[in-house]
Homo-oligomer: A and B are copies of this chain.
Amino acid sequence: MEKNIISLVPTGLEGEIRLHIEKVKRQLEPGSALLVSGNVNVFYTTGRFFRGYVWIPAEGEPVYFVVKPRVYSGGTEKMEYIRKPEQIPSLLVEMGYEMPRKVGLEESELTYNDTLRLMKLFPDAEVFDSTPVLRNARMVKTPMEIELMRYDGERQAQAYSKVSGLYRSGMTDVELQIEIERELRKLGCLGYPRVAGNLMEINMGSVLAGDNADTPSPYEFAMGGAGADPSLPGGADGHVIGRHETVMIDMNGSFNAYQTDMTRVWTAGELPELAEKAQRCSERILRTLEREALPGREVCELYFRAVEIAEGEGLKDYFMGHSQQSGFIGHGVGIELNEQPPVAPRCKTVLQEGMTLALEPKFVIPGTGPVGVENTYVVRADGLECITHFPEAIQKFDGATDQQG
C-alpha cells in the first residue's frame, strides 16, 4: 500500500509552530538548549504527536528526532529518524550544532529513569528543569490556539444544550453522565482529557449530584464525589438523582488538541434559598473577576477577591467544598486541563493578554448538592473574554415539572 507524503510539522501549521518554538527559545540562555520528549510538549512544538524528541537550541533551528512512526517526509523542518536517544548527540554534531552548556529536560514530567537516560547524552552540560519553560510558553495562547479553544467552547455548549432533554425521572447520576458523554462524542469530543501530573485521574468528566458532592476526593479537582468504584474515586456514584438535588455537569470539552472547561447546574425540583443564594454569589464572583482580571495583576488577587465575596455573603463554609475545601478557584487550561497558572493564594504569576483561565467558584450545600458556574476565559486588555457561552442560571430538567415533590 502506498503512503501519501506527510510532513512532520503539518502543512499550513509551519508559522504557528514557529511561534510556539519562538516562545520557548526566548526563555533560553545563550548556549543552552531543550530536549523535549513529553507528549504534550512534543505536540506543542510540532503540531503532531510522534514518538521521539524535539531539540530546541537557543541559537539555530529546532531538530526533530523521530523514533516512530516512520511516515514523514517532504517537510521543511530538520528531521532525523533514530532508534534510540543515544544517537542524538553525534547527529547534532554532524548537523553542525555545538554541544550546549546547559540542557533542559522535563524533570517534572519525565520519569526518573527516562530523565537519567537523557542526562547521560550530555555529560558535560549542566541540566536544568525545562518544565517551567514549556509551561510558560504554553500558558499564553496564540490567536490560532484561542480559535481552537473557541471552537471547543461552542461544541461543549452545544452538548450542554442537550442535557435538559437527556434527563429521565428515576435516572442515576451515572446514567445521565453516559448520555452526556454520548452527545459530546457525537459532536466530536475526543474523550481523552489530558492532565498534568498523576493527581487527576478522570474519564470524560464529572456529574455530581446531591450530597455525593461532599465526598472528599484524593485528587486535585475542585469538587469530589465517591465515584462508581473505589478504584476511581471521583464524580458520580450511581445513586438515583433526587428531585431536590442539584446536578453539577462538568464534562470534558476536548474537540481538538485543546479543550475548554465549563460547569453548569441542573435540578428537577425546587431548591432552598441557601443554594439559590450561593449560585447568585458564584455568578457575582465571575462578573467581578471578568472586570478586574486585567493584565498586570497577580493571579492570587483573583483568588482573594473570590474568597472575599463568598465570605462577605456568609458562604465561606460552603465555598469550594464543605467537608473538604479546595485551595484554588480556577486554573489555566489548554492542551492540558490543568495548565498554568493555578488561581490560588500563592500564585504570583502576572496576568497577560492571551492567557486562558477556567474560573470555577463553586459551593457545596449540604442536603442539596453543588452549585456554581465555571467558564473558560481569555485574558484581554480590558478584562476577561468568555468563550463558554451557555446560560448560567440553574436549569430545570425537561420532563421534571410534572413530577411529585
A residues bordering B, Cβ < 8 Å? 1, 3, 10, 38-39, 43, 47-51, 68-71, 105, 107-116, 129, 174-175, 178-179, 181-182, 185-186, 188, 190-192, 194, 198-199, 201-204, 211, 214, 216-219, 224, 228-233, 256-257, 322-324, 335, 366-367
If A38-B198, A323-B1, A324-B69 touch, whether A49 touches B216 (CB-CB below 8 Å) is no
Interfacial chain B residues near A324, Cβ < 8 Å:
68-70
The chain B residue sitting closest to A67, CB to CB, is: B218
24 contacts between A and B (CB under 8 A): A1-B367, A38-B198, A39-B201, A49-B201, A49-B231, A49-B232, A50-B218, A51-B219, A69-B217, A69-B324, A105-B112, A108-B113, A110-B112, A112-B114, A178-B182, A181-B182, A190-B203, A191-B203, A191-B204, A192-B232, A194-B201, A229-B257, A230-B257, A231-B256
The chain B residue sitting closest to A335, CB to CB, is: B231
Interfacial chain B residues near A70, Cβ < 8 Å:
216, 324
If A185-B181, A201-B39, A203-B192 touch, whether A218 touches B107 (CB-CB below 8 Å) is no
Interfacial chain B residues near A69, Cβ < 8 Å:
216-218, 224, 324
Interfacial chain B residues near A112, Cβ < 8 Å:
105, 107-108, 110-112, 114-116
Q: In the bound complex, what is the Cα–Cα distance between A48 and B181 (angstroms)? A: 26
Q: What is the CB-to-nearest-CB distance from A374 to chain B, in angstroms, rounded to a whole number?
A: 21
Interchain CB contact under 8 A, A198 and B39: yes
Q: In the bound complex, what is the Cα–Cα distance between A214 and B229 (angstroms)? A: 36
Interfacial chain B residues near A192, Cβ < 8 Å:
201-203, 232
Q: In the bound complex, what is the Cα–Cα distance between A228 and B109 (angstroms)? A: 26
One of B1, B105, B129 near A214 (C-beta < 8 A): B1
The chain B residue sitting closest to A68, CB to CB, is: B218
Q: What is the CB-to-nearest-CB distance from A6 to chain B, in angstroms, rounded to a whole number?
A: 10
If A69-B224, A113-B129 touch, whether A3 touches B230 (CB-CB below 8 Å) is no
Interchain CB contact under 8 A, B231 and A190: yes
Q: In the bound complex, what is the Cα–Cα distance between A324 and B81 (angstroms)? A: 15
The chain B residue sitting closest to A108, CB to CB, is: B113
Q: In the bound complex, what is the Cα–Cα distance between A94 and B257 (angstroms)? A: 49
Interchain CB contact under 8 A, A257 and B231: yes
Interfacial chain B residues near A204, Cβ < 8 Å:
191, 203
One of B49, B111, B216, B218 near A218 (C-beta < 8 A): B49
Q: Which of A3, A110, A228 has the most CB of B within 10 A?
A: A228
The chain B residue sitting closest to A66, CB to CB, is: B218
Q: Add 10 more A-B contacts to A51-B199, A51-B218 (CB < 8 A).
A: A1-B367, A68-B218, A69-B216, A69-B217, A71-B323, A108-B111, A109-B111, A111-B112, A190-B203, A190-B228
Q: What is the CB-to-nearest-CB distance from A104 to chain B, in angstroms, rounded to a whole number?
A: 12
Interfacial chain B residues near A51, Cβ < 8 Å:
199, 218-219
The chain B residue sitting closest to A364, CB to CB, is: B1
Q: In the bound complex, what is the Cα–Cα distance between A256 and B366 (angstroms)? A: 29
